[in-house]
Amino acid sequence: MEKVIYLEIDLCSGCGACVVACMDQNDIFPEKGQSALRRIYQIEKGEFPSANIQYVSAACLHCQDSPCVIGCPTGAISKCNRTGAVIVNKELCIGCHSCSLACPFGVPRYDLDEKMQKCNLCMERVEAGLEPACVRVCPMKALKFEFVNKVQREKELKFAGNILNAVHKTVGHTTK
């Protein structure tokens, strides 16, 4: 199993450091019309003053059974067996947008040459033993580069603690 980029959603403050790091790492020029391979979204629910405002840092999820890989007619998209990253070979991409029809998350973007570009999990960094650029700069440590089951274990542990607190609040310390 490979490490994945995991977003702890409650910690994300929408500062955009991950997006800037992504543009730096991948030499992206927004003034020319290129899109960063990671984006942030501000999601608002409810109304002022009790509005719930949350931020989401979104990029390719590098699915195991990737719909874009299946949907690509030229075999330009593949899954790297070393890092688990879903990557595009621009030499083979014909810019047909099949991947954007297949992707349920709206991830694929098209570069100035009309060919698909997406997050490649900073493969060159990962293979050198480094974290992806977005994870490295996240000031809130909301983005993590970790084995998914390890992250889930930590989350479950926190949840287990919360259950215990709730039980103690409602029934008190009755059990020994």
Partner 1 sequence: MPSPMKLREKKYLNGGFKTPSGKMEFMSKVLEKYVGKPGFEALPVYAPPKYSRESTPVLAQEYPFILNTGSRLPMFIHTRTFRLTWTMSLRPNHPAADISPVDAARLGLKQDDLIRISSPKDAIVVKANLTQMVQQGVIHMYHGHPEADVNSILEGDYLDPLSGFPGFKSTLCKVEKV
Give the residues lining the site for partner 1 (CB under 8 A).
13-17, 19-20, 23-24, 29-31, 36, 40, 42, 44, 46-49, 51, 53
**What's 108-170 look like in SS3?**
CEECCCCCEECCCCCHHHHHCCCCCHHHHHCCCCCEEEECHHHHHHHHHHHHHHHHHHHHHHH
Among residues 54 and 89, whose Cβ is nearest to partner 1? 54
Among residues 24 and 127, whose Cβ is nearest to partner 1? 24
Q: How far is the CB of 112 from partner 1 (least distance, A)?
A: 15
**Residue 14's closest CA among 56, 60, 53, 51?**
56
Q: How far is the CB of 28 from partner 1 (least distance, A)?
A: 8
Decide if 93 contacts 115 (C-beta within 8 A): yes
Strand 77-79 with 116-117, pairing:
unpaired
Among residues 20 and 56, whose Cβ is nearest to partner 1? 20
Among residues 44 and 127, whose Cβ is nearest to partner 1? 44
Q: How far is the CB of 139 from partner 1 (least distance, A)?
A: 10
Question: What's the CA gap between 169 and 68, in Å, rounded?
Answer: 48
